[in-house]
Each structure stands twice: as structure tokens, then as C-alpha cells.
């Protein structure tokens, strides 16, 4: 037989013999339909009803539900079996500040990557379904920092709505990632930007603006947009403007001399009242003597210096933008002590009656409750050591400020806490079944020295101080804390303390477990009743995102993003220089229990 | 100029050149976090002084000339990186200098045009000796006011936020009885402070003289605004120099020597005079 024919014969023999092997080789893949199935085919439109009452396995908004609890009703992972938790899959994210909250719907997980990349992943397998990359101006990329991190996105009907680093709102087709509409809200050249994402209520996209310290007068704003087009419907200014009855709260300063009051965290929604609740940050520059609200204006009894609506809750009609009521927690903030974070809508007994409350915790670590129908102040509970508030009136909530803690030009004062706060943007969460609030906290103080900010023109724009952070007096060296507070009597159920600063949000679940992580890369699960650590894993980088839990085909998962670059984490890390995190390696980690046979 | 310097200075310049060859060896002790910092490598040439100039600085034409003179004095080829119309750092959360760090690892060995404010810089920055000193000036709409003390305390002073002069004015206001205080309005920029005077929102503006110098060249209205004396306050001044990474200690020493030589031989004074710039060499 000619050599060539032999070869040919061998080829065909091998092919014929090998064909079944190829089929067999393909069999295992076919036996794992979850890896190849396209969950998009079965994805349902996200309805108003779903947002009001989400499926237990879905995570449809930043804090999962309109009440802002950040609680998962899933209980497959529980106190008994959480010790068996293992990595289900992981997905590398773009390096950079990673403060993301995944959105999960019908087996699809949407994740924000640093620098405006959004991905849709198969939530069971981690397989990429689609990816959207925004082409950002090089100047924004060069600014780097936190600017290109986003803490949340929003989903509604067939669209995923995102806020971009160049101050646009963009609606993406949730099934394809295609851009449906793109609306410019403000000029990024002037420093406007977004660090958190949209909040969708009744077909309106609500979004708070930040970047208001960049020498742009008049402060920040919250806008509402038509969900179908992105067109702006209303705008609420977070600093009192001349047509506002509270215009006289800025020590007589003209509008062009008022700065700050960023609305840099998404809101909550009370459908019974048809009200959204947004927090507002501090006025700029941080030091009151720099921004002109101190000294108090002379001979002007009708003029105050409370600097409204900084450090306040705004209760807003989402249809009209009308502010029904407001409450200011900290007047004329001169420390950078935001009260901007999540607003939880909790019904609790108080003096024999159930009160509809809105509960929030500011950077001071003071938990405060208002009546969310009226704005009436109800109670406060302190957590971390602080020396700014000397007394809180138990009837009105009015705070008496420790005068020794007020920074003055030419002096150094000791502030506990200071920037970046006894709690920062990593969110607290609430388990409604146990009526327990869980908080990621940090204990520290700062020597605060107001400093001229004009050493170079490249960063002129406002005022600031040098914060020389240090441990609290008589500290045992621990900085990070996770506290569990029973809100019915405001008792501390447990407090887990650790050297590493707390840098991630908390996630309580119906399984009786609380998840959270820290700067030292540990992601942990605690018994929600005792604070006992039930499971922990050391990941590749700082836990710096918002953990969520979801289920696909009856299997519960816990997902959390990690990464380095957040200014919040970096600031806290100065307290523990011996604990470092790698400068690269942002990752979405997803955990689950092993499959049972 | 150093190009005509004695051999001993030439030896030092050679050392400076050799040092530039070493590039930046990261010491991340307290340096800012920059995403993917590994992408910014060392420069390959050993005869170049890479310097940044910020076109948003009002004195940038002067800084550009002085930087070029410094490079020449060090017998190095000057390579300018002009920072253009980038947005300024967008908040005051402490990240502001991250941009500067990025510029110093990506674009330049030294960044010109920084006011040398004591204690205002983190440990990873070192500063050169100043190459000029300038002042903060009061500008008014009413030429009848010859000094700050002439302005009725019923009127307001606008001051660019947070400058050293603004802080000294604030301290003065805090120190005097309430009925002797002016209202002080913080202004987002020197230009905003000047325009508030033109609109009548404020009676006077406290601004950085180099900013006034730059704006007068392009705005006829601002050019007409008269200056007045700062009394009863003393004149506020600020020294201006350059910054670089603190690990570049030898380069800083060389830069200091170059600036000193350029000051001593009149080069800096000549540049300031040519530009009709409101500054004096430091020391004069």
C-alpha cells in the first residue's frame, strides 16, 4: 500500500475511532446546562410590583428593597452550614476602586467595573453574557481615584440604568447592553460627577449629584428623569437657593459663595406615603471659618448659619420634586461628618405605639430615627467614641456641640471621629425578623488642622484641613467593628472588634448569618445573634463593596466585590500601616454551599 | 548661569544627571494609590529634565521660562509637559494630590508653580527653594478706598477660598469686635472674586497678584479695577517653587543649586521683568 494511502487510511481510522470520543468529550459539557444556558431567554421585565416585592432570589436595587434594609430573605445558607461555604466562581474586575453592588435578576448578575465598564454575567456560572464599555475622556481617566467607581445601578422593565463618570445617565438594554438613551445631566469639566447610581421609583429615575466641592457655587442637586427618555423632570437643590424659605441659613452668604451638600448616596422609598428619602452631605469647604459660616453674621437676627440642607434628610415627592419635610442632623458641619448614607424605613414600637421611622447613621456613628411621616426626631443611639456632640436633647434631637472640638484657623483640634467617619459609605443593614441593625464601624480620632489649600493651582477648589488620624485614647489597637443593635430597645447585642478597619458593607440574611469584610481581606460570616465568627475566607484584596445574596435554580449564592483604591479605605488604612492590600486585583467573589448528591 | 559654572558645580551636575538615570524607584510608604502604577516606567534618557507646567496656573508663562532656564543650568535638555484644561480634582476628600503624584510618576521629574505653604504637603512630596515671591492684593471698585481700613464694615470682602491670605483675613475678622467686622464671602476663584467686585456683590476682592496679572491681560473690566493697600493687615505673601517626589533628594539639591544660581546671576529677575510680573526673586 502506498505510503500516502496508509496515511490516509490511518487518518480515516483515527477519525472514525475518534469521533465517538469527541462526542464523549462533549458529553460532560452538555451535562452541565447551567454553564451554557442563556438566562437572558427567560428574563422577565422588571415591574413596579417586583421592585415593591422582589423575588427572594433577586437583588434588584442598591439595598435590595425600597426600605433600604440590605437584607436577604434567603436561608439556604444558615448558621449550621455556613462553615461549608466555598467559592462557586470568581470574576476579575477592572483594577481600581471597587465599591460595587451587583444587581441580580432571573439568574443574571450585573456588575459595575471601575472606569465605567458594565457586565452581565450568568449568575450561576460567572459566564459573560454582554459587556458595555463607556468611552471616557482621557482627562477623567487621568483623574483616577474614586471618580470612576460607582456604588450602585438600577434596573427597571427591560433597562439597566447607570450613572457615568462623565455625569451622564445612560439606559442600557438589559438583555444586550446596547445603549437605549444617554442623558448629560451636568458638565463634567466643572467637576460634577457621580459616585453612586440611580434609584427608580414609579417610572422615574432619581439621581443625586456630587462633585459639588469643585468650586462650583450653589451646591449639589437631586434630579428626576423620565425612564423612557432620560429627560430631566425636576431638580431639588441641596443648598438653599434664593427662592427657598431657608435661604437665610447660610450666614448671609450669596449663592455664589455656597458650596457642597453632595447627594452622593442613593435613596429609599415609602410607597404608602409616596415619598423618597435622600441624604445630603456636608457643606464645603469643610472648615466653617473657611466657608464663611463662622463667625456668625453680626446684627442679623433673621439670618442663621445652619447651612441648610447639608447633613439632612429630604423627604421628596417623586412625582413633583416637592420637598415635603426635611430634618438636619448636624448644623453647620465643620468636620466633614456627612449624614448622607442609607435611609432605612423601619416600623418600630416607641412608647406603646408603632411609629413609622426613617433610620440613618452619620459619620459620627450616631444612629438616629425620625418619624418618616412628619420628620419629627424620635431617638438617637451612639456607637463609636466621639467628642463632637456633647449632648443630644432627648425631645428634639438638637445637638450641643463640644466647643473644644470645633476646628479653628491657626489651631489644631482633636476630633473623634473625623474624616472618613466612624462609619462611611459601606452600608449598614437591618434584619426585620430580629429587628436588629448591623453596622460596619471604625474607631479613631484625628488631629485636625485647617490648612491653606493653595499650594498649587492644580487642586484649588475649596477648603480643607490636615487630618492626622490616630487611635482613640486608651485604644486596645482595634479599629474595625461590626455592631449588632437591637432597635426595639437600642441595646447592643454584640460587637465584633478587629485591628483591621471595616471597609465593606454588611449583609444579614434570613439564615441567621451576617456577612461583611475588612481591609485585611477577610470576608466573614457571623452568627447574627451572638457575633460568633462561623466562617471566613481571606480573599485577594480589601473587601470594599456591598455583599449581596441571590439564588438561581434554588441555589443560594453570596457575592462580594473586592479591590483597592477607595479613598475611604485608603484613609482608614493609615491607622494600620502594617496591614496592606495589593494595588491590583479587583475581583467579584461568589460563594455557595457544595452541591448535595 | 550654571552653564558657565566652575568645575566643581559641573561635577555636581553630572551627579544630578546620573541620578536622573536611576528614575523613580517606588517607595510606597505614604504615596497615593494610583491604578496600575506599574504602567509608568522610568525614563530612558539620561540627559533630560522632564518638568510639568500647569496651564491653569496664572503664572505658567513665567514658570515655563524659569523651568527651561533651570534645565539649561543643569546641562539637561528640558522636556516640558503642559497640563492643559483637565478638570481639577473633583472633591476635597484628600485625593487632591493624587493627581500631582500621577503627574510626577508619569510625566515629569519636577512640577513647577507651587506655593510653598508650610506643612501643606505630605511626606512623599519635597519642595525646592522658591524662585519668586509674590503677594495677595486687595482690588476694589471704588478708587476712593485706598486701604482695607477705608471700607465700611457694612460691606463685604470677597476672598478666594482658603488661601493663606484668606486665612489671615479670617483670623483678623475673628479677632476684632463684631461691629468692626466685614462680612467675608468665600469665592471659588480669583476671577470669581474679581467679578463679584465688578457686580457690586462685594466691595473688595482679596486675590493672588499673579492671577490678577494674568486676568488683566485678557479682561478690560478687570484691568480697570484699582488695587488698595491691605492695612490694617500686613501684606500677605507667598513663595513659589517646584515640587518633586521626596525620594528624589539629590535632584532636589541640584534644583536648589540651579535656582540659587539663576537668582544670583539675575536670570530670574530678568524673566520676571520681561513679563512685567508682580513678583520678586527670592531672596531678592
A256 CB within 8 Å of a chain B CB? yes
- Rounded Cα distance between A281 and A454, Å, is 24
What is the DSSP pairing of strand A275-279 with strand A259-260? unpaired
pLDDT band at B45 (very low <50, low <70, confident <90, very high): low
Return all residues near B78 (Cβ < 8 A) that are at least 6 apart: B48, B49, B51, B67, B68, B70, B71, B72
**3-state DSSP percent of chain A in helix, strand and coil, to 5:** 15, 35, 50
pLDDT band at B96 (very low <50, low <70, confident <90, very high): low
In angstroms, what is the C-alpha Rg of chain A?
25
- Surface of A (123-152) touching B: CB under 8 A: 139-140, 142-147
Return all residues near B222 (Cβ < 8 A) that are at least 6 apart: B191, B194, B195, B198, B212, B215, B216
Residue A142 host element (H or E): helix A138-143
Q: In this model, does residue A38 exceed pLDDT 90?
A: no
- Give the model confidence (pLDDT) of A551-585 as tens digits: 999 999 999 999 998 989 999 999 999 999 998 89
Q: In this model, does residue B205 exceed pLDDT 70?
A: yes
List alpha helices for chain B, DSSP H: 7-22, 60-73, 96-106, 164-175, 190-199, 209-218, 220-224, 249-264, 267-274
Q: In this model, does residue A269 exceed pLDDT 70?
A: yes
Cβ–Cβ below 8 Å for A462 and B119: no
- Rounded Cα distance between B212 and A32, Å, is 71
Return all residues near A80 (Cβ < 8 A) that are at least 6 apart: none
What is the DSSP pairing of strand A275-279 with strand A268-270? antiparallel
- Measured on CA atoms in the order A190, A409, A566, A58, is the torsion positive or negative? negative
**3-state DSSP percent of chain B in helix, strand and coil, to 5:** 40, 20, 40
Cβ–Cβ below 8 Å for B196 and A96: no
**How is residue B206 written as a grid cell?**
482679596
- Rounded Cα distance between A440 and A522, Å, is 14
Q: Identify the three-state secondary structure at position A450.
A: strand
- Give the model confidence (pLDDT) of B131-178 as tens digits: 999 999 999 999 999 999 999 999 999 999 888 999 999 999 999 999
Q: Which among B93, B202, B209 is the top mutation candidate for probing chain A, defined by the most A β-carbons within 10 Å of its own β-carbon?
A: B93
**How is residue A35 written as a grid cell?**
454553564
CB of A110 within 8 A of CB of B63?
A: no
**How is residue A116 written as a grid cell?**
465605567
What is the DSSP pairing of strand A204-208 with strand A199-201? antiparallel
- Residue B56, pLDDT score: 81
Q: Identify the three-state secondary structure at position A308.
A: coil
Mean pLDDT of A209-235: 89
Q: Which among A300, A456, A582 is the top mutation candidate for probing chain B, defined by the most B β-carbons within 10 Å of its own β-carbon?
A: A456
Question: pTM for the complete prediction?
Answer: 0.90
Q: Considering only CB atoms, which chain A residues are within 8 Å of B30?
A: 574
The DSSP line for A181-250 is: EEEE-S-GGGT-B-SS--EEETTEEEEE-B-TTSS-TT--EEEEEETTT--EEEEEESS--TTSTTGGGS
Nearest CA in chain A to B202: A254
% of chain A residues with pLDDT over 90: 81
Min Cα–Cα distance to chain A from B91, Å: 5
- Give the model confidence (pLDDT) of B211-238 as tens digits: 999 999 999 999 999 999 999 999 999 9
CB of A282 within 8 A of CB of A306?
A: no
Cβ–Cβ below 8 Å for A217 and B192: yes
Min Cα–Cα distance to chain B from A377, Å: 30
Cβ–Cβ below 8 Å for A461 and B116: no
Q: Considering only CB atoms, which chain A residues are within 8 Å of B215?
A: none
A417 CB within 8 Å of a chain B CB? no
Beta bridge partners of B138: B206, B228
- Surface of A (540-579) touching B: CB under 8 A: 564-565, 567, 570-571, 574
Nearest CA in chain B to A574: B30
Q: Which among B32, B39, B87 is the top mutation candidate for probing chain A, defined by the most A β-carbons within 10 Å of its own β-carbon?
A: B87
Lowest mean pLDDT among A297-311, A480-494, A549-563, B71-85: B71-85
Nearest CA in chain A to B171: A409
- Give the model confidence (pLDDT) of A467-512 as tens digits: 889 999 999 999 999 999 999 999 999 999 999 999 999 999 999 9
Q: Considering only CB atoms, which chain A residues are within 8 Å of B201?
A: 254, 256
- Residue B161, pLDDT score: 86
Cβ–Cβ below 8 Å for A213 and B90: yes
Lowest mean pLDDT among A80-94, A214-228, A399-413: A214-228
Task: Tell me the average pLDDT of chain A.
Answer: 91
Min Cα–Cα distance to chain B from A146, Å: 9
A343 CB within 8 Å of a chain B CB? no
The dihedral over CA atoms of A120, A125, A126, A127, expressed in degrees to the nearest 10, equals -70
- Rounded Cα distance between A519 and A525, Å, is 15
- Across the interface, of B35, B92, B184, the residue whose CB is closest to A462 is B92
Min Cα–Cα distance to chain A from B99, Å: 6
A424 CB within 8 Å of a chain B CB? no
Cβ–Cβ below 8 Å for B35 and A295: no
- The alpha carbon of A522 is separated from its chain's Cα centroid by a whole number of angstroms, namely 19
Cβ–Cβ below 8 Å for B161 and A462: yes
- Residue A216, pLDDT score: 72
Give, in order, the Cα–Cα distances in Å from A214 to each of A97, A192, A227, A258, A291.
21, 8, 29, 11, 13
Give, in order, the Cα–Cα distances in Å from B206 to each of B116, B171, B236.
19, 14, 10
Q: Considering only CB atoms, which chain A residues are within 8 Å of B158?
A: 257
- Rounded Cα distance between B41 and B25, Å, is 10
**How is residue A41 written as a grid cell?**
431567554
Min Cα–Cα distance to chain B from A304, Å: 14
Q: Identify the three-state secondary structure at position B202.
A: coil
Amino acid at each position: 500500500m502506498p505510503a500516502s494511502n496508509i496515511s490516509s487510511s490511518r487518518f480515516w481510522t483515527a477519525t472514525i475511532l475518534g469521533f465517538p470520543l469527541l462526542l464523549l468529550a462533549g458529553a460532560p459539557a452538555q451535562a452541565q446546562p447551567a454553564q451554557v444556558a442563556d438566562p437572558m431567554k427567560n428574563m422577565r421585565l422588571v415591574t413596579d410590583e417586583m421592585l415593591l416585592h422582589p423575588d427572594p432570589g433577586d437583588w434588584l436595587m442598591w439595598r435590595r428593597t425600597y426600605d433600604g434594609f440590605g437584607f436577604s430573605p434567603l436561608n439556604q445558607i444558615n448558621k449550621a452550614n455556613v462553615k461549608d461555604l466555598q467559592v462557586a466562581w470568581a470574576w476579575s474586575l477592572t483594577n481600581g476602586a471597587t465599591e460595587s453592588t451587583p444587581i441580580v435578576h432571573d439568574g443574571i448578575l450585573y456588575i459595575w467595573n471601575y472606569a465605567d465598564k458594565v457586565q452581565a454575567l450568568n449568575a450561576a456560572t460567572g459566564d459573560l453574557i454582554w459587556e458595555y464599555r463607556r468611552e471616557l475622556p482621557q482627562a477623567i481617566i487621568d483623574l483616577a481615584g474614586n471618580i470612576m467607581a460607582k456604588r450602585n445601578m438600577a434596573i427597571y422593565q427591560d433597562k439597566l440604568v447607570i450613572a457615568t463618570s462623565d455625569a451622564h445617565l445612560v439606559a442600557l438594554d438589559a438583555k444586550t447592553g446596547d445603549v437605549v438613551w444617554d442623558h448629560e445631566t451636568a458638565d463634567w469639566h466643572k467637576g460634577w460627577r457621580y459616585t453612586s447610581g440611580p434609584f427608580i421609583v414609579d417610572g422615574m429615575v432619581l439621581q443625586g449629584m456630587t462633585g459639588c466641592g469643585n468650586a462650583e457655587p450653589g451646591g449639589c442637586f437631586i434630579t428626576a428623569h423620565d425612564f423612557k427618555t432620560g429627560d430631566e423632570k425636576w431638580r431639588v437643590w441641596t443648598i438653599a437657593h434664593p427662592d427657598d424659605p431657608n435661604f437665610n441659613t447660610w450666614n448671609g452668604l450669596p449663592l455664589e459663595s455656597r458650596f457642597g451638600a453632595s447627594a452622593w448616596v442613593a435613596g429609599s422609598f415609602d410607597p404608602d406615603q409616596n415619598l423618597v428619602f435622600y441624604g445630603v452631605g456636608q457643606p464645603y469647604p469643610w472648615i466653617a471659618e473657611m466657608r464663611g459660616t463662622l463667625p456668625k453674621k453680626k446684627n442679623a437676627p433673621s439670618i442663621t448659619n445652619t447651612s441648610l440642607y447639608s447633613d439632612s434628610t429630604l423627604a421628596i415627592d417623586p412625582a413633583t420634586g416637592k420637598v415635603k419635610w426635611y430634618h438636619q442632623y448636624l448644623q453647620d458641619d465643620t468636620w466633614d461628618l456627612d449624614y448622607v448614607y442609607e435611609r432605612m424605613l423601619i416600623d418600630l414600637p416607641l412608647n406603646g405605639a408603632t411609629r413609622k421611622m426613617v433610620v440613618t447613621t452619620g459619620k459620627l456613628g450616631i444612629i438616629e430615627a425620625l418619624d418618616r411621616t412628619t420628620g419629627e426626631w424620635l431617638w438617637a443611639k451612639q456607637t463609636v467614641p466621639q467628642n463632637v456632640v456633647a449632648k443630644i436633647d432627648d425631645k428634639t434631637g438638637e445637638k450641643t456641640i463640644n466647643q473644644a472640638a470645633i476646628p479653628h484657623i491657626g489651631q489644631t483640634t482633636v476630633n473623634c471621629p473625623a474624616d472618613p467617619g466612624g462609619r462611611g459609605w459601606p452600608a449598614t443593614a437591618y434584619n426585620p425578623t430580629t429587628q436588629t441593625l448591623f453596622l460596619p464601624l471604625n474607631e479613631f480620632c484625628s488631629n485636625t488642622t485647617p490648612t491653606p489649600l493653595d499650594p498649587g493651582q492644580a487642586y484649588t477648589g475649596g477648603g480643607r484641613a490636615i487630618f492626622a488620624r490616630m487611635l482613640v485614647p486608651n485604644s486596645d489597637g482595634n479599629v474595625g467593628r461590626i455592631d449588632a443593635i437591637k432597635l426595639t430597645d437600642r441595646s447592643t447585642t454584640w460587637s465584633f472588634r478587629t485591628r483591621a478597619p471595616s471597609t465593606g458593607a454588611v449583609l444579614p440574611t434570613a439564615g441567621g448569618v451576617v456577612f461583611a469584610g475588612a481591609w485585611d481581606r477577610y470576608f466573614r460570616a457571623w452568627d447574627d445573634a451572638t457575633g460568633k465568627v462561623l466562617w471566613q475566607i481571606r480573599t485577594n484584596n480589601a473587601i470594599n463593596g456591598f455583599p449581596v445574596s441571590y439564588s438561581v435554580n434554588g441555589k443560594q449564592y453570596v457575592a462580594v466585590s473586592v479591590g483597592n483604591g477607595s479613598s475611604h479605605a485608603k484613609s482608614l488604612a493609615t491607622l494600620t500601616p502594617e496591614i496592606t492590600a495589593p494595588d491590583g486585583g479587583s475581583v467579584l467573589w461568589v460563594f455557595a454551599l457544595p452541591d448535595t448528591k | 548661569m550654571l552653564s558657565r559654572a566652575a568645575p566643581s558645580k559641573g561635577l555636581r551636575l553630572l551627579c544630578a544627571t546620573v541620578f536622573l538615570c536611576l528614575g523613580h524607584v517606588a517607595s510606597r510608604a505614604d504615596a497615593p494609590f494610583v491604578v496600575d502604577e506599574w504602567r509608568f516606567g522610568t525614563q530612558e534618557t539620561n540627559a533630560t529634565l522632564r518638568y510639568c507646567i500647569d496651564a491653569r496656573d496664572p503664572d505658567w508663562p513665567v514658570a515655563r521660562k524659569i523651568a527651561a532656564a533651570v534645565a539649561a543650568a543643569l546641562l539637561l535638555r528640558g522636556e516640558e509637559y503642559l497640563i492643559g484644561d483637565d478638570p481639577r480634582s473633583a472633591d476635597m476628600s484628600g485625593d487632591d494630590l493624587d493627581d500631582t503624584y500621577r503627574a510626577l510618576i508619569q510625566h515629569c521629574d519636577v512640577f513647577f508653580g507651587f506655593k510653598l505653604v508650610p506643612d501643606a504637603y505630605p511626606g512623599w512630596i519635597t519642595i525646592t527653594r522658591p524662585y519668586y515671591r509674590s503677594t495677595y492684593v486687595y482690588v476694589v471698585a471704588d478708587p476712593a478706598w485706598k486701604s482695607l481700613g477705608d471700607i465700611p464694615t457694612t460691606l463685604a470682602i470677597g476672598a478666594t477660598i482658603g488661601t493663606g491670605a484668606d486665612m489671615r483675613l479670617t483670623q483678623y475678622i475673628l479677632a476684632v469686635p463684631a461691629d468692626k467686622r466685614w462680612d467675608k464671602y468665600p469665592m471659588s476663584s480669583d476671577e470669581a472674586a474679581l467679578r463679584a467686585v465688578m457686580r457690586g456683590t462685594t466691595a473688595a476682592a482679596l486675590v493672588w497678584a499673579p492671577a490678577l496679572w494674568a486676568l488683566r491681560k485678557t479682561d478690560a473690566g478687570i484691568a480697570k479695577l484699582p488695587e488698595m493697600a491691605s492695612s490694617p493687615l500686613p501684606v500677605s505673601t507667598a513663595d513659589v517653587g517646584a515640587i518633586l517626589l521626596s525620594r528624589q533628594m539629590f535632584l532636589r539639591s541640584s534644583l536648589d543649586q540651579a535656582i540659587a544660581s539663576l537668582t544670583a546671576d539675575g536670570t530670574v529677575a530678568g524673566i520676571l521683568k520681561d513679563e512685567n510680573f508682580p513678583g520678586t526673586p527670592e531672596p531678592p
